[in-house]
Chains A and B, each alone.
Chain A
Amino acid sequence: MNLGQFLTVFISSVFIYNVILSRFLGLCSFIAISKETRPALAMSLAVTFVTTTSSLITWLIYQFLLIPLGLTYLRTISFILVIATFVQLVEMFIRKASPPLYRFFGIYLPLITVNCAVFGVAVLNTDMFFVNGKASPGSFYYSVFQGICVGLGYTLAMLLMSAIRERLDFCNVPKSLKEFPLAFIIASIMSLSFMGFNGFRF
């Protein structure tokens, strides 16, 4: 475990392999919710929180339950169930503990259950930090840190996109390109600029 490795994880998951613009995870929510900045921010914060905590939980499950029992082929089913239950639990807790926060998140919290980014980062963690069915040293910290970084990458892309789309409301675009098609073309140009980070190697 060293600082350089953390930096690599940070740069690669925020910039080079940005969840949305390079890995295409969480694309549905990215296109649907990025029309205005406020909901986009709410969604990003919720996603960041859930990716972080779910990478923590899924690492524990994989290491202490699935590997000792030889059940690694149940990864998909166990991860998605845990994530769904966990999101439900968080929703119930926030509703009870802090109604203003609950109103801020609104319907975006339950939507996270089917957000590919959350499940994707859990699968990615087990693919990257478990070698031959064994946890590589420090993998717990890397997994949690990768969860945070993926959330940050999501937030970055979401904020950029919502800011651009707010401006676009004042532009005169061809009718057939309105909404989805234009959103994809903008995302494509953003992705092109993110590709420039590819030269960053440590």
Chain B
Amino acid sequence: MKKLFQEFFKGIIKENPTFVLVLGLCPTLAVSVSLSNGIGMGIAATFVIVGSNIIIALLKNAIPDKIRIPCYIVVIATFVTIAELTMKAYSPALNRALGIYVPLIVVNCIVLGRAEAYASKQSTVNSLFDGIGMGLGFTLALILISGIREFLGAGKLFGHTLIKSFEPIFVIGMPSGALLVIGLLLGFFNLLKERKT
């Protein structure tokens, strides 16, 4: 049981997919304009990671080694399609806001990376917890980035104005602001790590 908790928590801080492994940045930066977009993308990606991790862990003995990447991609693409259709049906506004970045989860390096590095070698239960942990780590990173960007770039959180007299810095909401925020955050986490050792 303790091992399972380790599998679960490592994705959140020690091996955080965004800030430590630096994987899957395309959707992170593109959709982090507002907090609700970030959370929507995080949930969709978590669903895909967990689903594909389970299926690949179950099939790991049946998949021939030589064509494993195409096999993984088919499994992942199936889950992405499920997520895409569900989002279209129940939350069309979110689907419009995320645009082409929903189908792009299929080429998100985190999903394929977890399949290749973890699910194809470990048991199904371990893979399930790894998937949930990684997905949660990704979602938390998205919440952090999109929270900072929405607050500084638009002066709002979840679309509500917080401080009336605050003049928003528009450039943070632009693409270049996304790159700046993630660069500075990565630097900040490096600094914390250095201080600790």
Q: Which residues of A contact B (CB under 8 A)?
A: 21-28, 31, 73-77, 80-81, 84-85, 113-116, 119-120, 123-124, 127, 174-177, 180-185, 187-192, 195
CB pair A77–B23 under 8 Å, yes or no, is no
Q: Which of A74, A77, A85 has the most CB of B within 10 A?
A: A77
A184's contact among B74, B186, B191, by CB below 8 Å, is which?
B186
Closest chain A residue to B179, Cβ basis: A188
Q: In whole angstroms, what is the CA distance A21 to B191 when docked? A: 26
- Kindly list chain B residues whose C-beta atoms are within 8 Å of the C-beta of A184: 179-180, 182-183, 186
B168 on the A face (CB < 8 A) = no
A188/B81 contact (C-beta < 8 A), A24-B26, A24-B30, A27-B26 known: no
Chain B interface main SS type: helix
- Kindly list chain A residues whose C-beta atoms are within 8 Å of the C-beta of B191: 176
Q: Which of B23, B106, B183, B184 has the most CB of A within 10 A?
A: B183
* A88–chain B nearest beta-carbon distance, Å: 8
Chain A interface main SS type: helix
In chain B, residues 1-55, which have Cβ atoms closer than 8 Å to a Cβ of chain A? 22-27, 29-30
* B189–chain A nearest beta-carbon distance, Å: 9
* B191–chain A nearest beta-carbon distance, Å: 4
CB pair A181–B107 under 8 Å, yes or no, is no
In chain B, residues 72-104, which have Cβ atoms closer than 8 Å to a Cβ of chain A? 73-74, 77-78, 80-81, 84-85, 99-100, 103-104
A81/B176 contact (C-beta < 8 A), A119-B104, A124-B100 known: no
Q: In whole angstroms, what is the CA distance A192 to B174 when docked? A: 9
B187 on the A face (CB < 8 A) = yes
CB pair A27–B29 under 8 Å, yes or no, is yes
Q: In whole angstroms, what is the CA distance A123 to B108 when docked? A: 15
CB pair B103–A76 under 8 Å, yes or no, is yes
* B21–chain A nearest beta-carbon distance, Å: 11
Q: Which 10 A-B pairs have the closest CB atoms?
A: A184-B183, A188-B179, A181-B187, A191-B176, A176-B190, A77-B77, A188-B180, A185-B183, A176-B191, A192-B176
Using A81-B70, A114-B107 as known contacts, list a sample of 7 further A-B pairs with CB atoms less than 8 Å apart, ordered by residue number in A. A28-B24, A80-B77, A114-B109, A124-B100, A176-B188, A190-B176, A192-B174
B112 on the A face (CB < 8 A) = yes
B167 on the A face (CB < 8 A) = no
- Kindly list chain B residues whose C-beta atoms are within 8 Å of the C-beta of A180: 22, 183, 186
CB pair B176–A195 under 8 Å, yes or no, is yes
A84/B180 contact (C-beta < 8 A), A177-B187, A192-B171 known: no
B65 on the A face (CB < 8 A) = no
Mind listing 17 A-B residue pairs with CB under 8 Å? Answer: A21-B175, A23-B30, A24-B175, A28-B26, A84-B69, A119-B103, A123-B100, A123-B104, A175-B190, A181-B186, A181-B190, A182-B183, A182-B187, A185-B184, A188-B176, A188-B179, A192-B176
